[in-house]
Amino acid sequence: MYYSYVMGMNEEIYELEKDGFIIEKNDNDFMISFSKELTNKWEEFVYKHLKVEYWNEYITDNEIIFIFHLKEGFKRYVVKNFENDEVLKLCEKLCDCKFESIEKMIKDNKFYKEKIY
């Protein structure tokens, strides 16, 4: 399974359940689980629904895919071994905070910790 913790989207996300996505609500956010076969559908949904100045990451078997919706458009990054300084800086800029590392940011997320670590 692949996993994504989603902020910056609305209830339209529930339309994905008909395609096999598992969706759990967490306050105003969503915890999404999906199979590898649904990757393209997930990315299409993110590109269509993610608010400007937000990002989404989803965790695959051996990498993390980050999709940023910036004022100038979308940027997509594939991160291996939790290492990408540009991604870390974008995350910090968008949430106006400092992360120790991508690895710590991901592992501190309760949803990811329960599903993956």
pLDDT at 8: 82
Structure tokens at 65: 């895919």
pLDDT at 13: 97
This prediction has a pTM of 0.94
* Domain residue extents for the chain: 2-103
Mean pLDDT, consecutive 10-residue segments, the chain of 117 residues?
Answer: 94 97 95 98 97 96 96 97 96 93 94 86
Give the per-residue pLDDT at 63.
96
* Sign of the Cα pseudo-torsion (9, 30, 28, 109, in order): negative
Contact yes or no for 76/58 (Cβ under 8 A): no
pLDDT of residue 42: 98
Whole-number pLDDT of residue 110: 92
Residue 116 pLDDT: 80
Residues in CB range of 102: below 8 A, 6 or more apart: 64, 79, 82, 83, 84, 87, 88, 91
